[in-house]
Every structure is written in C-alpha cells, then in structure tokens.
Amino acid sequence: MHPVRSALALAGLLVSTALAVPAEVANPTEHHPVFECNLPVHTERLPTYALGHSLVFPQDKLQAIIKGAAGGGARIDEREDDSGRYWYSRETLVGRFDKKTNETFVLPDLPSLKPGDIKLNGELLKILMADRSIIANDKTLAGIVIGSRLDGSRQVLRKEPSPPASYLLEGAVRRAIPYESASHPVCGPGSQAVFSFDASGNIRGLRHAWKPATSQGTSLQPLRPDQIRARIAEKLAESGLDGNATVRHVDLCFYDSGAAHIQPVFRFNATVRSAGGPATALLVGYIPASDKGALEPLPNITNPDRGALPGPSLPQYDPGLNATRSPRSATTLARLPGPSRRDGAIALGRYLMNGDGLSPTFIEEGWGLWSGLHSASSRFVDAQYYWDDARGYNEWAWYYVNNVDVAFSDGHGWPHHFLTNGGLPGGGTVTISSDLYAKGFGASAEGRGLSYWILGECSVIPAPTDFPAGQGHLAFDPWWKVFDGGMRAAVGYRDLAFTNPPKWSEVGMALGYGASVVHGFMSTMLPTGKTSAVTRCGRDGETIFQVGGLGKPDCLTIWWYN
C-alpha cells in the first residue's frame, strides 16, 4: 500500500527527524542479508503503553453508515450469533461487528457506486474523530491521512476499455506516539479507523478497531544501529531467508498488537528473491526496540506450527484416471472426485509454490484462508491441497483448478505470470493466458467448473494504468480467454504485496460470511498491498456461495486500488 502521506493535518503528524546512519558494513565471508537503507539512531529512553478495553463504534453512526454503504434504498437484514452481528443487503454481507474484539467493518455495495472526482469529507471526519467512542481521548496522537483510492475500468468485448475512473477514497486516522520531539507511527494490527468516501462525499466503507492507551513511562534504552542490524539479520536467518533478502527500510514504530500493549519496535521491510524465476515478494518484520526484549510476542516471519504440508503434486490418484490424460470421456469425468453441489458444498483447492524460501509462508497463508472460511461456514470443503504445478492449470486443469469452486494459488508472481515450483528451471512459470487450458476456467470447460480464483502472488492482476497510455487493453487481453470458460471473478494484487498469514484468515472469514468476493478481498487485503480484481460487469457484488455455470462474458471490469 502506498498511501499519500500528505493531507489534512487535523491533529498534526510531524515528520520524524531522527538521525540516520548508512547500514552497509559488509563482512563478505558471513552469510547475511543485504541492507540497502539507513538505520535509525535514537538515544532517549522509549515509552511504552498499556491498552484498555476496545471501543465500540457508536451504534447510531454505524447504522447510518451501513444504510449508506448498501446504496441507500436497499433493505438491510441483521443477523446475530455468538461471535458477532452481521448486516446483509440481499445475500451480501455489508457489515460485521465482532463481539470478541469489538472490531467493526462495513463494505460498500460495489455495483451501486458512481464514478467521480472524490475528496475526503473533512467536516464529517472531524466530527467522527471527536467522538470518544471512535478515537480514544488519551496521550497518543491521531491525524488524518489520505489512504487508498479505488479505481475501475470496463471493457466491452472487442471495444476499447473505458477510461479509468475513481469510485472510493479512504480517509484514515493514523495513530502516533510523541518521542524525541517528533511523532512516530503506531504500527501493527491494533489501531484502525479507516473511512471510504464515495463521489458524493458519503461514507461507504469502514474498518474500526481502537483501544485507549495509558502511558507506562519511559524505561527502555533503544538499540544502537549495529545492534539493530545484527538482530534483523538474526530474524531473517531464523526463517532461512537471509541469503535472498534485501532490507529496504528500517524505522522506529510503536507496535499495537490489539491485545495488551503498544511497545516500541524497529520495523523493517525487505524484498525476497524467488527461487527459479525473476519475481520478488515483500515481507515486513519487527524486532523489539531495546535489549529488554518484547513486552508481548511480535509476529515471526515464519511460524513452525503453520499446519500440514500440501500433498505432492500430480498425479497420484486413481490409476483409471491416470491412464487417460484426456478428460473427454464422460465416464472419466463422472468419476471426478469432489463434494456434491446438491449439498451446497463449496469446494476449495489450494496450490502452493514449492522449492522457495517463502514456501513455509505460503503454507501458512493457505491454512489461514482455510481456517477463516471454515470458521465462518460449514459449507466449505477442503477438497484439494497440493504443491503447485503448472500442468494443474493446463492439461490437468480438469482434475485440479477447474475441478473446484474456489482456487487459491500462492507463490511469487509478476504481471500476468506466476511461479509454481522453484526447483524447476524457470520456476514452473505459468503465463496468463498462454499457459492455461485453452477453453478457460469455469463450467464450460471439463471438471466441476471454477467460479473464483484467488491469486495470492504479487502483481498478477495489473491495472490498465500499469500499461502505457492508450494500451490499457493489455490489462484485459489475457483474461478474456480465462473467463470464456464461465468463471466469475479473479482477485489478487496489481503490485508487490507483503506476506501476512493472519490477514488470509481474516479474508477467509469475510468471504465465508458472505462479503462480495471482489470487494471483500480487495478491502480486507489492502493493508498487505494494492489489491485488484477482474470480474464480469455488474457481478461485482456476488458472494462465494454464488457458483456455477455462466457462459462467455461480453464485458469485463477491472477494479484496482492506488
């Protein structure tokens, strides 16, 4: 995500003025990551904070936002269970309040959005920020920044795509901590207050989680730059990524876990080269800012309890199926494995890149997605779980990707390409669409018929604006063949994205409760990178339970965040 950090300084965010020293004092004999950034220098003792109970977003304001998000006139049904309250417009989830965490989100009804020149509604934001049940009255700072902008373009078959237009703009409240006469960002999943505005200045979306913080004094001595460098190298070595990682940025931020503390940390981001192919991915990591260690656990780059390994790819199954590589025969097709459509089962297939330094993270993300879906609804079936293989999208698509309702691929990627196996020459590259099954994916091709394709790889769904002016059709071109099979939507990223297993669980839950696949994905995953999606025109509001046969499309929409 690249939010523009200028903006309406309502409560004034100062720029950090910390000194910086160059990081590179290379020891060529040592196995170490490359540092291409400065390291921060801080000397004053660092403050820590204790968090109180989560605020509950005021119900009257929430009701008004939910009505607006659903496009005004639509009827809203409220449902409730042990874990939360849910608001639906027809069958699509537009809002959720989590009773355990007090977190709230509202998603806009995409089909009802109108394009326009969007500005933040500063007056309304001021009123919301002044509400003590939205932003706590405490010694931390809060300021408004302009967040991401949702753009879209559609292409009617054999016509030029429509000029890109804007549909939503985020105004985000950024929390910060005063330290060494500057203000330093609060980072981590804990504090969020993001409002999405439409072209008429109405709020159409919301993410909110906030806890008041009490100062616990300033007791921690910050690490010196050489210590910071060594700790980051250790952290990368723990995950086995040190040889292929380049650290791009290190700064001081205050990590809000959303649990008990806001604690100072050094945050770093790094690019990680793929095995086999030319791709890179991003990761973000945190080390405690002092020698005293962490007040509460910080997320690790890899987690040893990530879940079972995927099954070996290709083809181990039924000798009868194995004998015929051709799916043409009706008896072969009739014997395809998978849960019954009649029971309303939604079959999930997960295909993860093998042979790469980040493969353990891809596994963790795959389990995150499954646990989220599964916790939201018992209709999901974990039908396929394999190491990825390029043939699963082509000659074996009828058995793999096109024999599930929802496919999740994860690995490294770049525009219209992704890698499946770092151990193969070229990394087992799949090019969209020349390496895909010729009839595309969906009910018109052999197999169950894919409805939704979730691409966890970086950059696979570029936007028309990622191509030279007048060449926007290049963003659409390869997708026509894929959708000709009847598929409903593909969601992913248009740019580099950060790995983040907990977010995959969150998005699984949002989709499992019935959020629009397109915008539920794009909005939930936005903190990890610029999300994007390709969908059939007018079907952007469909949920993961709307599966099955559609014919060839005559219009496609691409949505993307800036």
Ligand X SMILES: *[C@@H]1O[C@H](CO)[C@@H](O)[C@H](O)[C@H]1NC(C)=O
Which residues of the chain form contacts with ligand X (CB under 6 A)? Answer: 53-54, 56, 101-102, 240-244, 248-249, 251, 269, 275, 282, 297, 299-300, 303, 315, 319, 322, 357
Spatial distance between the Cα atoms of 191 and 234, rounded to a whole number of angstroms: 28
- In terms of CB distance, is 170 or 242 closer to ligand X? 242
The DSSP bridge pattern shows strands 380-387 and 346-352 to be parallel
Per-residue tokens: 91: 């069958």
The one-letter code for the residue type at 329 is S
Cα dihedral 548, 551, 554, 556 in deg (nearest 10): 30
If the CB atoms of residues 77 and 80 are measured against ligand X, the closer one turns out to be 80
Count CB atoms within 10 A of the CB of residue 200.
11
Return the number of the residue (267 or 374) whose C-beta is nearest ligand X: 267
CB of 208 to ligand X, least distance (A): 12
Least Å distance between CB 274 and ligand X? Answer: 7
Cα dihedral 33, 36, 42, 46 sign: negative
Task: Give how far Cα 356 sits from Cα of 330, 458, 551, Å.
Answer: 38, 15, 37
Based on CB atoms, which residue is closest to ligand X, 212 or 339? Answer: 212
Closest distance to ligand X from the beta carbon of 109 (Å): 28
**Closest separation in Å from C-beta 357 to ligand X:** 4
**Closest approach of ligand X to the CB of residue 531, in Å:** 15
Shorter beta-carbon distance to ligand X: residue 116 or 240:
240
Q: Which residue is nearest to ligand X (CB)?
A: 243
Please check whether residue 562 is in contact with residue 167, taking contact to mean a CB–CB distance below 8 angstroms.
no
Pairwise CA distance, residues 79 & 526, whole Å: 26
- CB of 58 or CB of 315, closer to ligand X: 315
Under 8 Å between Cβ of 148 and 562? yes
Enter the tokens of residue 58.
């005021």
Query: Exposed/middle/buried for 444, CB within 10 Å: 0-12, 13-18, 19+?
Result: middle
The least distance separating ligand X from the CB of residue 221, rounded to whole angstroms, comes to 22
- In whole angstroms, the minimum distance from the beta carbon of 5 to ligand X comes to 9
* Rg for the chain, CA atoms, rounded: 24
Nearest CB to ligand X, comparing residues 362 and 476: 362
